[in-house]
Amino acid sequence: MQLSTDSESKSEQTHVKLQNIIFYCLSVFILTRVLNFVEYYVITHFVHFEGFQFSSSFFINICRWDCYWYLDIINHGYQLLPNPMDGSLNEGRANWAFWPLFPFLINALSWLGSPLVVAYVLNQSLLFVSTILLFNYISKSYSIRCAQAGVLFLCVGSENIYFMSMYTESLFLFLSLLSICLIQRHKSWWAAISCAFLGATRINGFFMSIVLIFNEFNQKPINLSRVLKISIMFIISLSGLLTFMLFLKFHVGDSLAFYHIQTKWSRLNFQNISSPITALKALLNSGFYLDRIMCSLSLVVTLWLVSVRRWNDLLFFVMCVCVALISLNLKSYTRFFFGWYPVYLFLAVITERSRALQYILIFIFLGLHFTMLFFWLFNSFYAY
């Protein structure tokens, strides 16, 4: 009887705790979405440039850059051949560079409305769930206050425009947080399935499979049956990536088409690199100043993760950074940086003891978000 009472009490406490987490995350999420709409209204109604006309549709106005590539995949599928060399911005490019899970989900939900509306609702829903996952993940190792800060930084981040438009940021963040939470709880088979979906979202998703296997091999005992189990788990976790590669092989005759086409975006172009020094110069001269600052900050995050011995987070973060650096182009690095969950863990922990630092960073993020939204809406390359 006593055991039953204790169990019920514990269950009730867990339920109340979950309610509090959801309430906090929902409050921050709604408040920051309202703020985003206020910023959008101010820019579209009070800022004018000669020759530039906004659409009356919010969803059309926030569709920029890669959004059109995803629309193309949704409406026409993957191309058989690259675009013709006609002197246009997208000459020689093909939509093979964009991974299939996100447009597939939009297509599957197209009965709910237009792709742009569905993408916005899906991305915002995934972002909200991501705040709960982030809160839960941080609170397992740090204080509640720390977890609250992490959620706040995520919701006011300068790159929130990418969570609004038809981009994979929300899906990638959600699946990476879901995977690491499942790994943390030792739900390895579910983590493998989550990693499979993550691997079909972006090339970086493959790295969570390595984190999963690294975590499995760190558990004892290691014997033949366990090695077999881990091998099967690894294959499952790679199934998203392997399926896309197999599709490209039959569709265009090149299983690595997603990799080879990157040169048309000035990425992974090693042809003119004669030495490591030349490569470093090419890297440092790419991107905008903010991209270079965030690239430098990546080293700080890496060193911090080492100092606190968070090996799973470190492994995932470092591999994501390395892919961006190997591309020899820092363009869009800021966007990628704020799509990696360890960044919010870092920001939450380092500001835990200083409200002043927390407020300063939030103020900076809000200013950067308004600036980014401004450039985005006016089709500026600074927001790409």
DSSP 160-184: THHHHSS-SHHHHHHHHHHHHHHHH
Amino acid at 87: G
Q: How far, CA to CA in Å, does 302 sit from each of 115, 175, 206, 296, 321?
A: 38, 21, 19, 10, 10
Identify the pLDDT of residue 14: 57
Two tokens, residue 55: 């659409």
Amino acid at 286: S
pLDDT tens digits, 355-365: 899 999 999 99
* Residue 3 confidence class, pLDDT cut points 50, 70, 90: very low
pTM, whole model, 2 decimals? 0.92
- For range 21-25, the mean pLDDT: 95
Identify the pLDDT of residue 53: 87
pLDDT tens digits, 225-239: 889 999 999 999 999
Q: Are the CB atoms for 204 and 326 separated by under 8 Å?
A: no
**What percent of the chain has pLDDT above 70?**
91
Phi and psi dihedrals of 256, rounded to 5?
-110, 25
Identify the pLDDT of residue 224: 87
- Which is more confidently placed, 297 or 10? 297
- For range 66-81, the mean pLDDT: 94
* Residue 344 confidence class, pLDDT cut points 50, 70, 90: very high
Angle formed by the axes of helices 224-237 and 239-252, to 10°?
A: 50
- Our separate counts of H helices and E strands in the chain read 19, 0
Say if residue 222's pLDDT is above 90. Answer: no
* Residue 214 confidence class, pLDDT cut points 50, 70, 90: very high
Identify the pLDDT of residue 288: 82
Q: How far, CA to CA in Å, does 134 sit from each of 128, 137, 140?
A: 10, 5, 10
* Residue 284 confidence class, pLDDT cut points 50, 70, 90: confident
Top mean pLDDT of 48-62, 165-179, 312-326 is at 165-179
Identify the pLDDT of residue 311: 95
Say if residue 73's pLDDT is above 80. Answer: yes
Q: Considering the chain, what is the average pLDDT of its residues?
A: 89
Identify the pLDDT of residue 328: 76
- For range 45-62, the mean pLDDT: 88
